[in-house]
Amino acid sequence: MIEKEIQFRKKRELGAIFSDSFEFIKQEYKPVSKLILIYVLPFLILYGIVQVYIQMKLIGNIDLSDPEAMMANIGPVYKNIFLFSLFGIFVQSLLIGTYYSYIEIYIKKGKGNFDLSDIKPQLFSNSLLALSAGFIVFILTMIGIVMCIVPGIYFANTFSIVVMIALFERKGLGNAMSRSWKLVNSQWWNTLLINIVGIAIIWIVGFVLTLPAMLTGITTTIIGVQDTGVINYPDWYWVLTAISTVISSILWIIPFTFLAMQYFNLDERTKPENPFQ
């Protein structure tokens, strides 16, 4: 079966955004997987290990037989969670910068007309730009959530294509923010649905992967509380937690593809019509 080149720069209805995204991932999963394996996977593994460390530290401070000591020890854990969140932004930015670098050269040169070595020169700058944009969106979303959750959802959705705009238009983060505001608000609810579907896919896969660990965790917690007040999970629980973190992180390329398709869809729809065409 001959694979067709996916055209990103075109108007699409909502259903086509999802179907074309999965078609692109299906066709390009081999080179994309290789790219992620080389440049992103080591950091994803470290991210999974750090998550396990944070959870072990948190559980280690839980002693239900001594509530006062537990509350006294819980404070430093929040600092670790905050640092973990920042590391998570870094890892996600590296993934999105790497993946969008692939999409960028795919669009410029066409399917099968480039090698992965052609992407390498722009990986660092793209990842750094993605990190800057991602951090700004994260701060705005957190401010919105603190204000009353709803503004956080609005900011997260409205600026969800900032990274894509910053990487493809190269006109600075200020322009990317204003362009994202303008483009997304032309189809705000469609963009929200795209984001919800993408996040739902990640959540469902993560839930399925961690279901055995969750059931073990509940059983272990009940037994530990009844016997000693201390919770101890088996080693395989932590291994599965780390693996599920890595897999769930990689699967973010699905919503990233949705948003790339939506960006070009909105960009094409908001361009002025040429009366001479």
The 10s digit of each residue's pLDDT in 188-211 is 999 999 999 999 999 998 888 777
Name beta bridge partners: 173: none
Cα–Cα distance measured from residue 77 to residue 171, given in angstroms and rounded to the nearest whole number = 39
Does a structural domain hold residue 265?
A: yes
Please state, in angstroms and rounded to a whole number, the distance separating the CA atoms of residues 5 and 225.
Answer: 57
pLDDT score, position 140: 82
Rounded to a whole number, what is the largest CA-CA distance in the chain? 80
- How many percent of the chain have pLDDT more than 90? 38
Whether 189 is covered by a domain: the verdict is yes
Helix and strand element counts for the chain (H, E): 10, 0
> How far is 121 from 119, CA to CA, in rounded Å?
6
201 occurs within a structural domain: yes
Name the average pLDDT for the chain: 82
Q: Who contacts 127 (Cβ-Cβ below 8 Å, separation ≥6)?
A: 93, 94, 97, 98
Confirm if 258 and 194 have CB atoms less than 8 A apart: yes
φ/ψ of 273, rounded to 5, equals: -70, 140
Rounded CA-CA distance 249/47 in Å is: 9
- The predicted-structure confidence for 20-77, as pLDDT tens digits, reads as follows 999 999 999 999 999 999 999 999 999 888 888 877 777 665 554 555 554 455 555 5
The tally of domains found in the chain comes to 1
Strand partners, 230: 63
Domain membership flag for residue 274: no
Q: What is the pTM of this model?
A: 0.83
Give residue 89's domain range.
14-269
Q: How far is CA 244 from CA 52, 65, 239, 241, in A?
A: 11, 31, 9, 5
For the chain, helix, strand, coil in percent to 5 are 80, 0, 20
Residues 236, 277: Cα–Cα separation, whole Å: 63
Contact 259, 164 (CB under 8 A): yes
Burial of 257 (0-12, 13-18, 19+ CB in 10 A): buried
pLDDT of residue 255: 94
Q: What is the distance between the alpha carbons of residues 174 and 162, in angstroms, rounded to a whole number?
A: 10
**What confidence category does residue 270 fall into, taking pLDDT thresholds of 50, 70 and 90?**
confident
| pLDDT value at residue 142 | 80
* DSSP 8-class letter at 113: S
**Token digits of residue 260:** 């790339």
Would residue 149 count as lying in a domain? yes
| Distance (Å, whole) CA 93 – CA 127 | 6
